[in-house]
Amino acid sequence: MPMPFYVSPEQMMQDRAEYAKKGIAKGRSIIAMEYDQGVLLVADNPSTSLFKISEVYDCIALSGAGRYSEFENLRKAGIQHADVKGMMYSREDVTARSLANGYSQILGTIFSQEMKPYEVELLLAQVGETPEGNELYRITFDGSIIDERNFTAIGGRSEPILTFLSKEISATCPSLKTALHLCQQAFEKSADPRSGLDGLEVAVLDRTRSGRKFRRVDTSQASELLS
**Domain assignment present for 8:** no
b/e for 141-173, b at 16 or more Cβ within 10 A?
A: bbbebeebebbbbbbbbbebbbebbeeebeeeb
**Domain assignment present for 9:** no
Give the span between the Cα atoms of 84 and 82, in whole angstroms: 6
**Domain assignment present for 35:** yes
Residue 126's domain spans which residues?
Answer: 27-226
Per-residue model confidence (pLDDT) at position 20: 94
**Domain assignment present for 127:** yes
C-alpha angle 83/67/138, rounded to 5°?
A: 60
Per-residue model confidence (pLDDT) at position 193: 58
Number of domains composing the chain: 1
Per-residue model confidence (pLDDT) at position 161: 94
Per-residue model confidence (pLDDT) at position 93: 86
Confirm if 171 and 149 have CB atoms less than 8 A apart. Answer: no
Pair type for strands 38-44 and 200-206? antiparallel
Residues in the chain predicted with pLDDT less than 50, given as ranges, are none
Phi-psi region of 59 (alpha: psi -120 to 50; beta: other; left: phi over 0): alpha
pTM of the model: 0.91
CATH number, domain of 215, equals 3.60.20.10
**Domain assignment present for 165:** yes
Q: Which helix (H) or strand (E) holds 125?
A: strand 120-126
**Domain assignment present for 16:** no
Give the span between the Cα atoms of 180 and 225, in whole angstroms: 9
**Domain assignment present for 198:** yes
Per-residue model confidence (pLDDT) at position 169: 85
**Domain assignment present for 170:** yes
